[in-house]
Structure formats: structure tokens, C-alpha cells
Chain A
Amino acid sequence: MASAEAVVTAAGTTRKLRIQHLGKVFERDGESVAALEDINLDVTEGEFICIVGPSGCGKSTLLNVLAGFLPSTSGSVTIDGEAVSGPDPRRIMVFQERGVFPWLTVEGNIGFGLSKLTRAQREERIAHYVQTVRLQGFENTYPSDLSGGMKQRLQVARALAVNPDILYLDEPFGALDSITRVIMRGELLRIWQTERRTILFVTHDIDEAVQMADRVVVLSSRPARIEEVLTIDIPHPRNISSPRYLELRDELLKQIGLAYEI
């Protein structure tokens, strides 16, 4: 079965995150709706995981449970052997929209989680991540004057600034236009390659998943179960017209049940 496959990790790597028999049931007006069912997955340190699935299947719910925003109803999530019990600054979520604080400037947003540092350290950290996400010259700009892509880069910078070991990204580029989206993928990969954080990235875009992930987790429709975990064995930078790329992409499309001929 797929779940048995999923627990296997590559030899010689450190396990970062372990999901075991995870389930989530919502109670609404006295009715129970199962959102997640028996999710099992091991994620290695520094790995880039994409989670795909039909819309409304519970991808975001999974991420919210992992990040501690929602309690699970069964099973467990452990990070470095420690059970997740709530939101934690060591794991930061990047939201699809409106994740940045509109009342703070770019600097204020990046420095949001840095109040424990000294002033000098904080300024150094902010300057570094302004550079990382290429927002130089916009330090004192408010989010309302930034484009959608810049806002998402700002959110990534704010997340990275607190030096988290895991980044959760919930369809972070879903609201952007297709050109900006492609650019943002490149930026995120560049950042991931220099900073080597563990990334769990939810998307509904198959191409996005195949272009970025080490492994792609395919969820079924509600209640979400892991249908398949596909390893993308193409080195970066990936040629998106190579036969292997197309093969993996088709396999994923088939897995989700989409026709790949229109």
C-alpha cells in the first residue's frame, strides 16, 4: 500500500517530521465530516515536499494540523521526536493571501518575529533577508504599495528571518499571475538551495510540484488519504521539456484523475 511506501526514507538522512495515522474530523452542526484519514509520512531534514490533490480535499487542513493551528483528532505529528501541540516559531506558515501585516512596513514585517534580538542583530537580520528576497529599496514601503509577488516574497522573508527549521507554504503563489508564479518558483528554489530548510508546500498545480519538489505527495479527495508518494529524481535546474519531466508529470496527472489531453 501507499502508506507503507511512504514511511520508507532514504538511508543516511535525518528524519525531521513524522506523521503517523493522522486523522482529522470536523464537527459541524452535530455532523462529523472527516477531512484527513490515516495519513502516514516521514520527511527528511532539508527535503522539499509538495502536497497536491483535488481542490477541497484537505491539503490546507493537513498543513494547518502540522503547523499546530488545528488539533488533530487521531494519530500524531512529531518533529525531531517531539509531538506538535500548537503553533511554534520554529515552524512558520506562509499563507496564500494577506499573510503580511498591512500596518507594518517591509522592515517591520520582516522584523516581526525578532523582538528578542538586540537592535543591531535585528537590523542585520532584516537587511540580510531584504536582500534574500530582493526587496532592496522597499524597506520603508507598506504592503498596500507592493505587488502581489512582492508581498509573497515579503512573507517568505518574514518567515525565514526567525530561522525556522520547517517552512509550511499553503498555495503561496496561488493568487499570483502565471508569469509571476514562474519567477517566484525560481526564487523559492534559489532560497531553498542556499538555506536548506525543510519545506512542505501545498499546491493544486501539478507543474509547480514537479518543478520544485524532491517528493510529491498525492492526496485523494475528501477524506484525504495519501494515494501515492512520487520521487522526482531530476536534478536542479530542471529541464521542463525533458522526457523524464513529462513522464513524471503525466503520472501525477493520471494519479489525480485528470485527462492530460484536452
Chain B
Amino acid sequence: MSPTDQELWSATVAGDATAFAVLFDRYARAVYNHAFKLTGSWSLAEDVTQSAFLVAWRRRADARLVDGSALPWLLVVTANTARTESRSARRWFALLRRLPAERGTDTDLSDEVAARVDDEQRMRTILAAVRRLPRAEREAIALCVWSGVSYADAAAVLGISETGLRSRVSRARARLARQLSDDTTEDR
């Protein structure tokens, strides 16, 4: 049976890098995708992921596991890392396609690259709207709506009430709906 997050984190806090590596394996994909949603760049998301886990290691004693899961706290660390290391919630972009090493010329990989570029364009459009929200609301949307963390877990790790968090998400949705409506009107 695989060790629980709590067991792994206890070992991590005691300085066990191997246990932390297991947590990395477990959550790297989730952190990577969360970082992408915050930055709009797949390549930057890699950098943020790398940094977020390093920050998480350094702050391991401060970790706050929620219902035995390290993921909500890791995603909060990721958001802070994206904001800090990615130069404070600034808009990032991929100037050109990132071409992984040792790529062949087969169609599947070309499609993959093209799809990632499409992802970035789409995400940048979304971030352009979301960026107009207050930071707390942006984080609430990213954590609860985009990355699927439950309201209870997100509230616990953010240190606010679940009601407060729901209010943030609700306000954010309302603002975004208004923005979209205004933008549509302007486009007419």
C-alpha cells in the first residue's frame, strides 16, 4: 500500500528527501497544470513547478495538510511562487513554441506542440479577463474552479471561512459575467 500524504509529509518534515520525491511524483502534474492556469505559459509552468516544489521543501514545516492531502497547500504555494517568481502575477507568454529535445518529425508530436500553443492563446484570453479581478478572487477561481479543490479544503488552507471563500468565488463569477457582457456590448 502506498504511503499517505500525511506519512510522507511527516518524513519530509524530518528531512527525508526521498519521501518528498514521492510527493513530487504524486502531485507534479497537478501543480504543473495549476501553474499553467496562473501563467498562461506551459514553459513557464515548468519553471514554476520546479520552484514551487523547492519552496515547498523549504517551507515544509509550515505545511498545512487538509483532510490528509498535501495538494491544496501545494497549490497555494504554487500560486505564491507564480506570483513571486513569475514576477508578481504578471502576464506571461510563450513567444514561440517550445520544442522538447529529441523530438522527431512525427505528426503526433507536431500536433501536440500546436495544441499547446492553442492552449496558451486560449489561456491568455482567459487570464486577460481574470486579471481584472482582485487577487483574492483570482486565487479563489484558480483554486476552486480551475483546479477543482473543494471549498472546504481551499478555505482551510487559505485560512478563511468556507462561506467567505464561496463569497469570493461568487463575486468573481459576477464580475466576470459583467465583464463579458460589457465586452460583448463594446464589440457590437
A and B associate in one complex: no
Please give the residue numbers on chain A whose beta carbons come within 8 Å of chain B beta carbons, in ascending order.
none
